[in-house]
Structure 1
Amino acid sequence: MADYQSRPLSPDDLDVICGMPQHAGELFYMYPKGVFPLTPEQIREALKTRLCPTVITAEGGEIAAYANLYDCVREKECWLGNVIVALGYRGKGASSYLIRTMMDKAKRELGVPFLNLICHNTNTPALLLYTKIGFCPFDVSEKAGPDGKRLAGIHMRVSL
């Protein structure tokens, strides 16, 4: 397993992050409002309503993953968003490190007792990861996938 570190997003990171979603389906999981291929301008637009944009780097400084937080209400809850892991770091602990880092930021920097997320029912690897880390489902909402078909958005929560 690689030795990971976290740091705030830098404008120089945007091109690398834009290359992480391999197809429209992956972009949908990361950023349902996004249009494939992802562009730096789309990320900048999303950042207008996001907090704690964070990159995870591997040895040598290569970007392994990215996420941010949104809709944070102090002493109540926060939502995890725009989660993406670079292809070469999937299955190598980068996603777990990213999620735990964002949990810590939500608790320590934003003072919330719960971190929420929405994971689509078709994203089995992510559902299994979130469950392993301690997230539990608490609601389901209907979503339209990139192909227009119905999906379930599974709302999950973890206590911090």
Structure 2
Amino acid sequence: MTLIAHRDLDLSKNDTESICTFPQSAEELFYIGPRFIFPLTSDQIVNILENRFSPTVIVDINDNPIGYANLYDVNQEFLTCWLGNVIVSSTYRGKGISKYLVNVMMKKAVDEYKVKRMKLYCHNTNTRALLFYTKQGFKPCGSRIIENYENQKIVSIEMERELI
């Protein structure tokens, strides 16, 4: 694995400009966030941050962003939160960065928000991610029908995992 670390998203370092280069297609961007419009822009990332927590970048040895995720809908009553906007640079896919990123986000959820369960949505058309999240211990627990970037109906699978 490449030498990596994580830190908070830093708007002054132009992290968002790097993140905008990660999605390679409208389909990939839809998987990251169904409300995003391809091509991804810094403004889209900044706007979604209004309802997000712990925006985190994974960085390489030169402090360049190579992965990104955030949390949302932290619920103290049910001790849950949602994992969102997970993306890794195409150059670093298949090298363990996603696993590291998800583990960082789970630790932040527990340490910063004291939640016991993490949830996420993964679209049924994203087989690679479904296999990845299953391997990370997430289990399907529900679904909803949404429209993709081509206005086609697809199933978004709700998954969850216990954190402690």
TM-score, length of structure 1 as denominator length: 0.97
State the match for 2:39 in structure 1. 37
Q: What percentage of aligned pairs have identical amino acids?
A: 46
Is 1:122 the counterpart of 2:125? The answer is yes
d(CA) in 2 for partners of 1:135, 1:4 = 24
State the match for 2:30 in structure 1. 28
State the match for 2:8 in structure 1. 8
- 5 Å-filtered alignment, 1:56-95, equals 56-74=58-76, 76-95=79-98
d(CA) in 1 for partners of 2:99, 2:37 = 26
Task: Give CA-to-partner distance per residue, 1:90-123, whole Å, 9 cap, x none.
Answer: 0000100000100110011111000000000111
Cα pair 1:64 1:86 within 8 Å, conserved = yes
Cα pair 1:4 1:97 within 8 Å, conserved = no
- 5 Å-filtered alignment, 1:121-160, equals 121-160=124-163
Tell me the CA shift for residue 133 of structure 1.
0.7
d(CA) in 2 for partners of 1:3, 1:134 = 25
d(CA) in 2 for partners of 1:131, 1:64 = 23
d(CA) in 2 for partners of 1:3, 1:128 = 25
Tell me the CA shift for residue 59 of structure 1.
2.0
Q: CA RMSD in A?
A: 0.9
* Structure 1 stretches lacking a partner, 5+ long: none
d(CA) in 2 for partners of 1:4, 1:117 = 24
- Provide the aligned length of Structure 1 versus Structure 2: 160
The one-letter amino acid paired with 2:104 is: T
d(CA) in 2 for partners of 1:159, 1:121 = 22
State the match for 1:18 in structure 2. 20
Tell me the CA shift for residue 143 of structure 1.
1.1
State the match for 1:98 in structure 2. 101
Please identify runs of 4+ aligned residues in structure 1 that moved more than 4 A.
none
Aligned to 1:66, the other structure's residue is in SS state: strand
Cα pair 1:65 1:84 within 8 Å, conserved = yes
Tell me the CA shift for residue 62 of structure 1.
2.3
State the match for 2:111 in structure 1. 108
d(CA) in 1 for partners of 2:61, 2:93 = 15
